[in-house]
Structure 1
């Protein structure tokens, strides 16, 4: 039960981090992504970026509670998206690669489980 909830939360946060952003909405992702091979280095970078993205989203969600205008909200979303892009690129991935790995994890239960385990390990540290 805990792992299923964790997996859902991690993937939802990771996916939501990019789906909602105007900077990344420029490219439409296909409904059925092609199967990709994810090596250990990419997986490690994906988890690093996701941990950072979760922190960024939590920070900006708390800030959004005090936003008073749509313009302010737009600026806040732009800042959050820029930080999330920096997190992905700082981890050594391109945004497209990150999104492909997230989509692959949704399609591949073994990859999904591996990500959940890595996220759990890092959150316990």
Structure 2
């Protein structure tokens, strides 16, 4: 099964957007074109896979929540686990966000990450 580029970008932003709201305009400068090593991208791919799994686990729970407060609590729990997955993969939350942001503006980088993800599925 191949991971479409759009799917990668959307799901990567699933985590990146809520955290990015807390950043200042200075943090937006990190979206500049940056060079990433293959080991860094492998860590990103590992974190991304874990986040996708957590998203699949938590999305139905959030949808089935009795009210907004319960949904927010479940979402907060999911985000905590997602941050834990990023750190478990060997990246900081900020490093993950930086790579995810770079994917939006760098098609070559997106292609590299897609290849890593596809190799992991074989």
Same structural fold, with TM-score higher than 0.5 when normalized by the shorter chain? yes
Rounded to whole Å, the distance in 1 between the matches of 2:58 and 2:99 is 24
Task: Determine if contact 1:7/1:113 at 8 Å carries over to the other structure.
Answer: yes
Q: Deviations over 1:49-105 (max 9, x none)?
A: 000001111111011222101111111010010011001111111111111111112
**Higher helix fraction: Structure 1 or Structure 2?**
2
1:25: how far off? 3.1
Structure 2 unpaired stretches of 5+: none
1:11: how far off? 1.3
SS of the aligned residue for 1:20 comes to: helix
In the superposition, the TM-score normalised over structure 1's length comes to 0.85
Higher relative contact order, structure no. (Cα contacts within 8 Å, ≥ 6 residues apart): 2
Structure 1 unpaired stretches of 5+: none
Rounded to whole Å, the distance in 1 between the matches of 2:83 and 2:117 is 19
Structure-2 residue corresponding to 1:25: 21
Rounded to whole Å, the distance in 2 between the matches of 1:32 and 1:86 is 22
Task: Determine if contact 1:18/1:81 at 8 Å carries over to the other structure.
Answer: no
1:82 aligns with 2:80: yes
Rounded to whole Å, the distance in 1 between the matches of 2:111 and 2:37 is 15
Tell me which stretches of 4 or more aligned residues in structure 1 moved more than 4 Å.
none
Task: Determine if contact 1:7/1:116 at 8 Å carries over to the other structure.
Answer: yes
Cα RMSD of the aligned pairs, angstroms, is: 2.1
Aligned residue runs from structure 1 range 29-108, under 5 A: 29-30=27-28, 33-108=31-106
In the superposition, the TM-score normalised over structure 2's length comes to 0.87
